[in-house]
Amino acid sequence: MPIDLSIQLGPLALKNPVLVAAGTFGYGIEFQEFFDLRQLGALITKTITLQPRLGNPAPRLVETPAGMLNAVGLQNIGVEEFFSAKWPALRALGAPVILSIAGFTLEEFGALASRAAGTGIAALELNLSCPNVAHAAPGSKSGQRCFAQSAEETASAVRTVKGAADVPVFAKLSAEVSDLAAVARAAVEAGADGLTLINTIAGMVIDSDREAPALANRTGGLSGPAIRPIAVRCVWEARQAVRVPIIGVGGVASGRDALEMILAGASAIQVGTANFWNPRAPLVILKELGALVGQKKRPLRELIGAVRAAPA
């Protein structure tokens, strides 16, 4: 009997829970030469901003044990160029597409959501927590502004987007907060249809030969298997605080990693850094996950948040 991996992400019905993480899969269409992208639950674009961004200076990537640091800085072509140059081919693939957006002000979040409204985008993922860009508004002297590090600002961003576009909204939160549950609840109370956990974690690598940072930006976002236990903990904590769907992301590199996220409380998972060493990683993970769910002899939906209270 075929294994049913279908899931419900709020208003979104997806054929399976395997998605790709923003910033690790290009705009989506670039990977179609490796496998049929329609086999995945949904595609998530790299993060789009209102205006084009060149990103941070190179070097912007460095490998670390069990992961990597990136300081790309949200390089992208901007929302208008995305919809004119990328969206037609992406939409033609026939797979659900979630657009990742980032604003540096509430007004920018609102403008991005308004532009996406009515285009056929399946949902919006709000990048509220990127650790390697300055989030202050142009001309501001307040330094970095990371929406996800404040429950109030998270709620304001979600509320703004929900007021501008009638599509499902997923708030992407950070592990680097003192009270994750409070931020999660604020996002949901403001209208978020679900949460994405987690973004990368700020880190630093120093080249001991040069006695200088390995990245031009000095710090970057740590991703890969090294952060998976943190991501699993955050998914589990958020699951205790809210009852909306959660998308788990952070170091998922196998079907067993994906199942761990699901048992912690994720309804779906995103594959990120694994795409860099294997462009077919999402498909491999999907097949491995299907086999593991089959061994459980229980529907995938019954495994969401099914972790035991204590070791057996």
pLDDT score for 310: 72
Give the pLDDT band of residue 309 (cuts 50, 70, 90). confident
* Residues 197 and 229 sit within 8 Å (Cβ to Cβ): no
Q: Is the pLDDT of residue 217 over 80?
A: yes
**Residue 67 falls inside a structural domain:** no
**What CATH number is attached to the domain comprising 188?**
3.20.20.70
Mean pLDDT over residues 111-115, rounded?
A: 98
**Residue 178 falls inside a structural domain:** yes
- Of 38, 159, 169, nearest to 94 by C-alpha is 38
Which pTM value belongs to this model? 0.94
The catalytic residue among 22, 48, 95, 130 is 130
* Residues 44 and 270 sit within 8 Å (Cβ to Cβ): yes
Q: Model confidence over 36-94: pLDDT tens digits? A: 999 999 999 999 999 999 999 999 999 999 999 999 999 999 999 999 999 999 999 99
pLDDT score for 136: 46
**Residue 63 falls inside a structural domain:** no
**Residue 64 falls inside a structural domain:** no
Give the pLDDT band of residue 183 (cuts 50, 70, 90). very high
Query: What percent of the chain shows pLDDT beyond 90?
Result: 90
Query: What percent of the chain shows pLDDT beyond 70?
Result: 95
**Residue 124 falls inside a structural domain:** yes
Whole-number mean pLDDT of the chain?
Answer: 93
- Token pair for residue 114? 């308004």
How many distinct structural domains can be found in the chain? 1
Q: Model confidence over 121-165: pLDDT tens digits? A: 999 999 998 776 654 444 433 334 589 999 999 999 999 999 999
Mean pLDDT over residues 283-290, rounded?
A: 98
Report long-range pairs for 75-80 (Cβ below 8 Å, ≥24 apart).
76/46, 76/47, 76/48, 76/49, 76/52, 77/48, 77/52, 78/48, 78/49, 78/50, 78/51, 78/52, 78/53, 79/48, 79/49, 79/50, 79/112, 79/115, 79/116, 80/115
* Residues 173 and 197 sit within 8 Å (Cβ to Cβ): yes
**Residue 120 falls inside a structural domain:** yes
- Domain containing 154 equals 7-57+73-201+224-303
234 has catalytic annotation: no
- Token pair for residue 163? 């007021």
**Residue 253 falls inside a structural domain:** yes
